[in-house]
Amino acid sequence: MEFKVSYYDAAQREILEAHEKSPSINRLVQRGLEISADELMVHTMFSEQMNEDGFRTYEELAAQAGSRVGWFESYFNFGEDGLFAHLPPSRVEKRLTQGIGEGIAIIAMNRIYDLTEADWERIGERNDSKTLDHQYELASTGQRFVQVEGKGTVLGLDGFGRKTASISRAKSSILAKKEESSSPIESAPCDRFGVITAIPSEPGAIPDVYLIDPAGVAPDIAPQKYKLLSRLSYYERRLSYVSKFHFLMVLRNRINAIHDSEQFEDLDGIKLVGQDGTPFGFPQTRDSLVTSRGGEVFGRVLPVSQEEALFIGFEQRLFYTLIGQSFQDVNSFKIHRHEVVIDTFVTTTIPGADGRSRLRVRGRAHLNSAGIAFGQVDLSRPYSRRYFRKS
């Protein structure tokens, strides 16, 4: 899906063209954004909810998956015709619109700063410290912090291609917070952006993405430590869908040790090991494992009906990187975004069926730069003649 990226106005263009990252910003404005439907779905439907009750384990997520997909599709189209709203602005669920805006904002920052989705995980605060501003999404490059506030709005049929009142209000809200940030912490440089996504209500219209540059305030933590904790926390939460409890417990304990240590560098390169002292091997997974063709990605399916499922998976090299605990390897882990082919068999439970069924799983999944795969796949019983959609 295509998104047109622009400076909000001439004043913002002047500010952003003087920015240290202006070459990357200008490239984004010239080329726009191309985002797969699966990538947008992950950001909008699951990213925030993965940290809440009801979305923390495979079983919880599986129970929610079907309703979440239906909820999303009842308001928005995402696919060959692009992203657009099915309903007038007043009837669109605001949580979804805001989720799209936040997702697009993070994706835009990933392109500008060469970050991945794993860099945006919120790390926990200890001892009642108030170092993090939760009005913004926060990431670290390892040398500086990046904050972004994303907002989404749906345009009526008469609003496409112009800045409506809702877009102007979004800009004013973002810039107003600039005045509240009057005492920056000198521990590290910090860039803050505002990103507004205007979603059309007609097929074929390309959504507009507007860039704004308010002032940034850094949290009171070293950027390289924040980046490491953010990535490890991101993977620990998402691996709960496929990995055995003991590995997750060891990884969680390591995250806590890094967080609490003033000399966290002493833990660099100390591998994760099991109870007997031997390093973890691959795969440390539950049953119902699904692998991509060639074995590049492993994960599980979340059936949403007797014929369709969502696939959530992980790139194998990511697992070994987490085991090895080289901080450089963790902080630099990034892969080229691409699609993987899923064509295998699995034994699982599907809606409306008694017990567990042996099913064929076929389809494609989008593998993001953080090494997480997500996609909608087809289910069928072996040797059935059900027609499979072309992916």
Beta strand 2-7 with 208-212 is: parallel
In contact, 190 and 217? CB cutoff 8 Å: yes
Give the model confidence (pLDDT) of 150-206 as tens digits: 999 999 877 666 788 889 999 998 888 655 554 444 557 889 999 999 999 988 899
In contact, 239 and 298? CB cutoff 8 Å: no
User: Of 170, 190, 220, which residue is a domain's last?
Assistant: 220
Compute the distance between CA of residue 280 and CA of residue 273 in angstroms, rounded to an integer.
6
Say if 226 falls within a structural domain: no
pLDDT at 64: 62
In contact, 351 and 307? CB cutoff 8 Å: no
Compute the distance between CA of residue 198 and CA of residue 161 in angstroms, rounded to an integer.
9
- Beta-carbon count within 10 A of 287 CB: 9
In contact, 265 and 327? CB cutoff 8 Å: yes
Give the model confidence (pLDDT) of 199-231 as tens digits: 999 888 999 999 998 776 677 888 999 999 999
Give the model confidence (pLDDT) of 29-58 as tens digits: 999 999 988 788 777 765 555 555 555 555
pLDDT at 180: 55
Residues 215 and 247 in one domain: no
326 vs 385, higher pLDDT: 326
Q: Quote the domain boundaries for residue 279.
A: 242-380
Chain-wide mean pLDDT for the chain?
Answer: 83
121, pLDDT greater than 90 = no
Rounded (10°) angle between helices 245-260 and 223-239: 160
Say if 104 falls within a structural domain: yes
Residues 216 and 246 in one domain: no
Residues 210 and 303 in one domain: no
User: Of 220, 254, 286, which residue is a domain's last?
Assistant: 220
Residues 85 and 177 in one domain: yes
126 vs 6, higher pLDDT: 6
0.85 surpassed by pTM: no
Residues 215 and 292 in one domain: no
Q: What angle do CA 381, 383, 389 make, to 5 degrees?
A: 70
301, pLDDT greater than 70 = yes
Indicate the number of domains in the chain: 2
In contact, 216 and 19? CB cutoff 8 Å: no
Q: What 3-state class would DSSP assign to 207?
A: coil
Q: What is the mean pLDDT of residues 138-151?
A: 93
Residues 174 and 275 in one domain: no
334, pLDDT greater than 70 = yes
In contact, 88 and 32? CB cutoff 8 Å: no
Residues 210 and 320 in one domain: no
Total residues belonging to the chain: 391
- The closest of 74, 65, 76, 73 to 309, measured between CA atoms, is 65
Say if 317 falls within a structural domain: yes
Say if 236 falls within a structural domain: no
378, pLDDT greater than 70 = yes
Residues 101 and 169 in one domain: yes
Say if 232 falls within a structural domain: no
pLDDT > 90 fraction of the chain, expressed in percent and rounded: 43
Residues 58 and 104 in one domain: yes
Say if 115 falls within a structural domain: yes
pLDDT at 234: 93
User: Of 220, 254, 287, which residue is a domain's last?
Assistant: 220
pLDDT at 386: 46
Residue 45 C-beta-side C-alpha neighbours within 13 Å? 23
Residues 297 and 341 in one domain: yes
Say if 87 falls within a structural domain: yes
Residues 42 and 136 in one domain: yes
Give the model confidence (pLDDT) of 285-296 as tens digits: 444 567 787 778
Lowest mean pLDDT among 25-34, 59-68, 227-236: 59-68
Lowest mean pLDDT among 21-25, 108-112, 172-176, 324-328: 172-176
The torsion angles phi and psi of 57, rounded to 5 degrees, stand at: -125, 165
117, pLDDT greater than 80 = yes
Query: C-alpha distances in angstroms, 329 versus 142, 191, 319, 324?
Result: 13, 24, 12, 9
Say if 90 falls within a structural domain: yes
Compute the distance between CA of residue 124 and CA of residue 132 in angstroms, rounded to an integer.
9
Contacts (Cβ under 8 Å, ≥6 apart) of 207: 3, 4, 82, 83, 84, 197, 198, 199, 200
Q: What is the mean pLDDT of residues 104-111?
A: 95
Residue 190: burial class (beta carbons within 10 Å; 0-12, 13-18, 19+): buried
Residues 187 and 275 in one domain: no
Token readout for 248 is 């997750």
